[in-house]
């Protein structure tokens, strides 16, 4: 990708914010600047911070160009040679994994439904809670990789969520995995008829699985839990 006007850079996401009605674009920039428009005096220092990341700015990553491109480009590389340093970063982009995830949640729900003692509200709350518990354990607790990576253990202290797409935020998989507990929560709220006790349990469970997904919580370990 060469130089040229910024309009030629394909935008990943357009969000209209209140500040002067300008379009904001996302870029994978490892800068310590706060996410607000810096004033002219600090613009130069900001430039200096991001100067060495020119290639990153210009190479806007492809996966978010559009859904059709993603489905054909990303394939599950099982049993073939690949140059991916850490395959964990690409697992949730593999072909068919979103469908498998949905089917798995559906299977969990059907198994719970087949237990004769549980009423429908209890089953939905249980589905929601068990799904969120499993998601918390696999995405936000277990760290590192089950295989050796050629980068001498760069991801040894990172959870799977933090490893996804090498830390790039707001990718499609991350959005999918953030929305699925919300969808489950809405369904559970409906089927429990907004009962107070169920509401408390479901909301607490949803929060426990949504908070770690925020970009602000990337790499954060509260009270030193799960740090090493």
Partner 1 sequence: MATAAEQWVLVEMVQALYEEKEELIEEWQPEPLVPPVSGDHPALNYNVVSGPPSHNIVVNGKKCVNFASFNFLGLLDDPRVKAAALVSLRKYGVGTCGPRGFYGTFDVHLDLEDRLAKFMQTEEAIIYSYGFATIASAIPAYSKRGDIVFVDRAACFAIQKGLQASRSDIQLFKHNDMADLERLLKEQEIEDQKNPRKARVTRRFIVVEGLYMNTGTICPLPELVKLKYKYKARIFLEESLSFGVLGEHGRGVTEHFGISIDDIDLISANMENSLASIGGFCCGRSFVIDHQRLSGQGYCFSASLPPLLAAAAIEALNIMEENPGIFSVLREKCKRIHKALQGISGLKVVGESFSPAFHLQLQESTGSREDDVKLLQEIVNHCMDRSIALTQARYLEKEEKCLPPPSIRVVVTVEQTDEELERAARTIKEVAQAVLL
Contacts with partner 1, residue ranges (CB under 8 A)? 3-7, 9, 22-33, 35, 37-38, 43, 46-47, 50-51, 54, 57, 148, 152-154, 156-158, 162, 166-170, 215-216, 218-219, 224, 227-228
Q: Which is nearer to partner 1, 117 or 228 (CB)?
A: 228
| Nearest Cα to Cα of residue 125 among 210, 175, 133 | 133
We find the least distance from the C-beta atom of residue 193 to partner 1, in angstroms, to be 38
We find the least distance from the C-beta atom of residue 30 to partner 1, in angstroms, to be 5
Beta-carbon contacts of 220 under 8 Å, excluding residues fewer than 6 positions away, are: none
Q: Is 85 helix (H, G, I), strand (E, B) or coil?
A: coil
Q: How far apart are CA 95 and CA 109, in angstroms?
A: 24
We find the least distance from the C-beta atom of residue 120 to partner 1, in angstroms, to be 40
Q: Which is nearer to partner 1, 22 or 80 (CB)?
A: 22
We find the least distance from the C-beta atom of residue 44 to partner 1, in angstroms, to be 10
Q: Which is nearer to partner 1, 7 or 114 (CB)?
A: 7
Under 8 Å between Cβ of 218 and 162: yes
What does the H/E/C string look like for 50-74? HHCCHHHHHCCCHHHCCHHHHHHHC
Report CA torsion sign: 90, 94, 179, 113.
negative
We find the least distance from the C-beta atom of residue 104 to partner 1, in angstroms, to be 28
Q: Which is nearer to partner 1, 23 or 194 (CB)?
A: 23
């Amino acid at each position: 990708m060469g130089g040229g006007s910024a309009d030629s850079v394909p935008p990943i996401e357009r969000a209209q914010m209140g500040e002067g009605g300008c379009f904001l674009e996302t870029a994978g920039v490892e800068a310590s600047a706060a996410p607000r428009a810096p004033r002219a005096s600090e613009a130069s220092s900001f430039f200096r911070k991001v100067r060495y990341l020119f290639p990153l700015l210009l190479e806007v990553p492809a996966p978010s160009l559009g859904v059709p491109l993603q489905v054909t480009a990303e394939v599950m590389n099982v049993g073939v040679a690949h140059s991916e340093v850490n395959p964990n970063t690409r697992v949730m982009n593999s072909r068919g994994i979103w469908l498998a995830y949905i089917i798995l949640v559906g299977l969990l729900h059907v198994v719970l439904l087949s237990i004769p003692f549980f009423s429908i509200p209890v089953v939905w709350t249980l589905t929601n809670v068990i799904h969120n518990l499993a998601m918390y354990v696999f995405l936000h607790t277990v760290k590192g990789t089950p295989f050796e990576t050629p980068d001498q253990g760069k991801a040894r202290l990172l959870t799977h969520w933090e490893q996804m797409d090498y830390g790039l935020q707001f990718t499609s998989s991350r959005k999918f995995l953030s929305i699925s507990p919300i969808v489950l929560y809405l369904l559970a709220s409906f089927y429990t008829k907004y009962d107070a006790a169920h509401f408390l349990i479901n909301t607490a469970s949803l929060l426990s699985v949504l908070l770690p997904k925020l970009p602000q919580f990337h790499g954060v370990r509260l009270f030193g839990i799960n740090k090493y």
